[in-house]
Structure 1
Amino acid sequence: MTARPILHTCRGSRGLRCTWAAEEAGVDVELRLLPFPPRFKAPEYLEINPLGTIPLLVDGDSRMTESCAIAHYLATKDGYTDLAIAPGERDYAEYLDFTYHADATITFPQTVYMRFALFEKDKGWAEAGDAYAKWFWKRLIKVEQRLEGREFLCADRFTVADICVGYALILARSVGLDEGVPESLKAYRERLEAREGYQRAVEREKAGPASV
């Protein structure tokens, strides 16, 4: 019997993308919830992931640490599902672009904002945090324009690209960045959060301590 993939993550972290993708794709993963940040609160975790970052997916001999890559992997590991777009299919390029855009361009300024404005606010970094908040808001324009007249980002269906971008919008609300999120993207976020797969993922992660 093949062992289940093991997903190491923290409640509400980027790993939610992976938990959510697993639920939507019907992939049975073993969820191991860690305290945040695990590099300090669960130092034994460094033995299996020297980076100390989350998420970490262990599937047989494979180890993955990038949330969007893990989400895509779970949606395709047993063959392409409707959650992913295959080469030759309409919007294949856009699917890849928005999946990578989610972390590299959108989530990146959020994490810097969180460090300066939330975690290290007593060190005089508030101004830098505010600058990265504005950077995040400006970078939403690509998603906002793409969703004009569309329910989802690619191929007229819900995909991993929506999971990856949607998480960034969900994180924005939880860390105090919702002020600059356009109303159209808030409505998009509501549609995503209404999905049963998302709600199941959140319920599964509730067993762990809060991340933010």
Structure 2
Amino acid sequence: MTKPILYTCRGSRGLRCTWAAEEAGVDVELKLLPFPPRFKAPEYLEINPLGTIPLLVDGDTHMTESCAIAHYFATRNGFTDLAIAPGEPDYAEYCDYTYHADATLTFPQTVFMRFALFEKDKGWEDAGQAYAKWFWKRLVKIEQRLEGREFLCADRLTVADICVGYALILARQVGLDEGVPENLKAYRERLTAREAYMRAVEREKAGAAAI
């Protein structure tokens, strides 16, 4: 089986994939790109016309959704503890929280970043703050789920934690931490203390330094 290639930018949603690969023991070739690649690495459009990251190329397989790639790594060589199979307890919850990570959490974060950070010179900061409040309100489901729990599903780390955890990591990076509840900050600390997470961060750092 050939080594999959993961195109990503340091600290982007692709970190979910790098992290999942480390947790699952999948040997991945990382190709770090400058951000945003569609402007700073235009040749990338030849393999991903969207210009988005991450992109996974694994033989004939091409994938562009970070949560899907993380699940793929968790099951590529057979089901690992990172994934929950049909029929297992919390299977439905595993699916729900994995999709919840992008559909509900990182979506308002992305809009906040555009209005409040990337294009703040256009006078859209009020709109950015509205999306910040949207993000904070959407944390309630995770906050309640983690009351008395270490992980979201099946009493173990799964891709759902990696996907949701990234949204909390991003919140700290982009100035959205003031509205993050304390139990979610503690959850984030548990996740980022994992050896596989730290290896993933170091791999991306080293790859970015070589650009």
User: TM bucket by the smaller chain?
Assistant: over 0.9
The percent of aligned pairs where both chains have the same amino acid is 87
Aligned pairs for 1:1-212 within 5 A: 2-209=1-208
**Quick check: 2:30–2:207 contact (8 Å CA) kept in 1?**
no
**Quick check: 2:32–2:207 contact (8 Å CA) kept in 1?**
yes
Distance, in Å, in 2 between the alignment partners of 1:187 and 1:114 is 24
Give the drift of 1:111.
Answer: 0.4
SS of aligned partner of 2:206: coil
Aligned positions, number: 209
Distance, in Å, in 2 between the alignment partners of 1:78 and 1:180 is 39
Give the drift of 1:3.
Answer: 1.8
SS of aligned partner of 1:207: helix
TM-score norm. by structure 1 comes to 0.97
Distance, in Å, in 1 between the alignment partners of 2:157 and 2:126 is 37
SS of aligned partner of 1:7: strand
SS of aligned partner of 1:80: coil
Q: 1:121 to 1:209 in 2, by over 3 A?
A: farther
Ranges in structure 2 where 5+ consecutive residues have no aligned partner? none
**What RMSD, in angstroms, separates the aligned Cα atoms of the two structures?**
0.8
TM-score norm. by structure 2 comes to 0.98
**Quick check: 1:39–1:46 contact (8 Å CA) kept in 2?**
yes
Distance, in Å, in 1 between the alignment partners of 2:136 and 2:8 is 27
1:182-210 C-alpha deviation (Å, 9 max, x unpaired):
00000000000010010000000002449
Say which structure, 1 or 2, has more relative contact order (CA 8 Å, 6+ apart): 1
Residue identity opposite 1:197 in structure 2: A
SS of aligned partner of 1:8: strand
Distance, in Å, in 2 between the alignment partners of 1:19 and 1:6 is 11
**Quick check: 1:7–1:29 contact (8 Å CA) kept in 2?**
yes
Give the drift of 1:86.
Answer: 0.3
Residue identity opposite 1:107 in structure 2: T
**Quick check: 1:35–1:208 contact (8 Å CA) kept in 2?**
no
Distance, in Å, in 1 between the alignment partners of 2:64 and 2:132 is 25
Distance, in Å, in 1 between the alignment partners of 2:202 and 2:157 is 20
Distance, in Å, in 2 between the alignment partners of 1:173 and 1:159 is 22
**Quick check: 2:21–2:74 contact (8 Å CA) kept in 1?**
yes
**Quick check: 1:36–1:209 contact (8 Å CA) kept in 2?**
no
Distance, in Å, in 1 between the alignment partners of 2:72 and 2:103 is 18
Distance, in Å, in 2 between the alignment partners of 1:6 and 1:189 is 27
Residue identity opposite 1:170 in structure 2: I
Residue identity opposite 1:157 in structure 2: R
